[in-house]
Amino acid sequence: MSKNDEESSKIEIPDERRQELFELARTLTGFCSPTGFEDRIRKYLVQRLKDRCEVTTDAMGNVMARIQGTGTSRRLTLMMAAHVDEIGFMVSFVTSDGFLRIVPLGGQNIRILPGQRVTIFHEDLNDDIKEITGVIAEKPIHLLSSDERKKLVKQEELFVDIGVHSKEEALEIISIGDHATFTRQCDWLGPGKVFSCKAGDDRMGVLVELLVLEHFIEHPPPVDIVATFTVQEEIGTRGAIPSSFTIDPDMAIVLEVTHAIDFPGISKEKFGDVSLGKGPAIAVGPNLHPRMTRFIIRHAREAGIPHQVEVENRPTGTDARAIQVTRGGVATALVSIPLRYMHTNIEVIDPIDLDAAIALITGVIEKLPGDALPLNL
């Protein structure tokens, strides 16, 4: 694979398109739906799609939207997958003076947590949901000992202040087991070329999948498509396991985010050379079907779509890991949106990469022969 296959020059998109993608990103990242508590975004997706295509859900909460292809013989089934859950927290304990102890949902970066605002969601026995604002607190630097200043705070030392003075008062508005997410709105940075948000992992994959799906609702492709919005990816790709078993696809394209390594203090030699604004990253490695991957890269080159290549030398930490080994095996590809500062509430995304990913996946699906084996692509 040549260097030209791996790198593409940066392109521009119209301001109107940039704003359109930002608005949808702001909507999708605005849903507070941590792992295991994905109802808010799930309901949005079902409502948006239910009158336009066949939509089903399963016991775990996966949403599956099906489009019938135009092929006349035995059509292949393509599964698209993007996970809707985000990292978050659960309330695990309330102290006697009303402070909350929390445990993580998914992989949290302990270094950034002190000083963050969080929203706690409390659902009472009547299914009424209240949102409670809190802050993850830390000792002021003035009160830290010299040893404490040198140490990283531990998860069990974190506490959330919700502005009450006793355990009894706290339990009037929250319960043990309530879930929480960062409190953050999506907004533009600097001159308005890139934006920052929480839950970019993986609402950016959801955005791409949703817009590709909506294109094919109006323009059916040769293959059957099942666009799957999976749950519980952040704790072990759990939603992808039953959904891919149910769908039993011939091939799959997983839409994810990946690390943009274009900021100070990190080694591109160690982590790969992926940047914002140069198109989606196409993964290569044993977790991904080599012909499917080459088919996608070839189309990107021929269509002049900016793209990058990233190496995954073992099972990825994405839904591709589970889907590939479903039933008798699934020819699986992984296409990811570059994103800075993953698993923080300041993730940074360039709409150029979203636009290029949408064009890439749309073009690839249009080129899929409806009844050809994936190995013959």
In tens, the pLDDT along 258-288 reads 999 999 999 888 888 999 999 999 999 999 9
pLDDT tens column, 289-332: 999 999 999 999 999 999 999 999 999 999 999 999 999 999 99
Per-residue pLDDT averaged across 349-377, rounded?
Answer: 86
pLDDT higher than 70, residue 80:
yes
Q: What is the mean pLDDT of the chain?
A: 93
User: Which of the following is catalytic: 38, 233, 312, 347?
Assistant: 233
- Three-class secondary structure of residue 183 per DSSP: coil
**Residue 1 binned pLDDT confidence (cut-offs 50, 70, 90):** very low
DSSP labels, 247-311: H--SEEEEEEEEE---STT--HHHH----TTS-PEEEESTTS-HHHHHHHHHHHHHHT---EEEE
Residue 287 exposure: Cα atoms within 13 Å on the Cβ side: 20
Lowest mean pLDDT among 40-49, 59-68, 116-125: 116-125
Cβ count near 96 (within 10 Å):
9
Nearest CA among 205, 254, 212 for reference residue 365: 212
Average pLDDT over residues 162-175: 97
46, burial (CB in 10 Å: exposed 0-12, middle 13-18, buried 19+): middle
Report pTM.
Answer: 0.93
Average pLDDT over residues 140-147: 86
Is the confidence at residue 22, as pLDDT, over 50? yes
| pLDDT given for residue 8 in this prediction | 45
pLDDT tens digits for range 173-207: 999 999 999 999 999 999 999 999 999 999 999 99
CA nearest to 361, candidates 71, 79, 5, 70: 79
Task: Please determine, for residue 136, whether its predicted confidence score (pLDDT) is greater than 80.
Answer: yes
Q: What is the mean pLDDT of residues 74-99?
A: 96
Pairing mode, if any, of strands 117-123 and 251-259? unpaired
82 in Cβ contact with 144 (< 8 Å): no
Q: Are 27 and 204 in contact (CB under 8 A)?
A: no
- Mark whether 233 is an active-site residue: yes
Predicted confidence band at 372 (pLDDT cuts at 50, 70, 90)?
low
Q: DSSP code of 376?
A: G
SS3 (DSSP) at 52: coil
* pLDDT exceeds 90 at position 145: no
Q: Which fold has domain 3-86+198-376?
A: Aminopeptidase (3.40.630)
Question: What confidence score (pLDDT) does residue 75 get?
Answer: 86
Looking at per-residue pLDDT, the higher value among 368 and 91 belongs to 91
- Give the position of tokens 């102890």: 101
Q: Is the pLDDT of residue 7 over 90?
A: no
CATH 3.30.70.1280 corresponds to the domain 89-182? no
Domain regions of the chain by residue span:
3-86+198-376, 89-182
327 C-beta neighbours (distance < 10 Å), count: 10
DSSP string, 3-29: HHHH--------HHHHHHHHHHHHHHH
Structure-token match 């002021």, residue found: 140
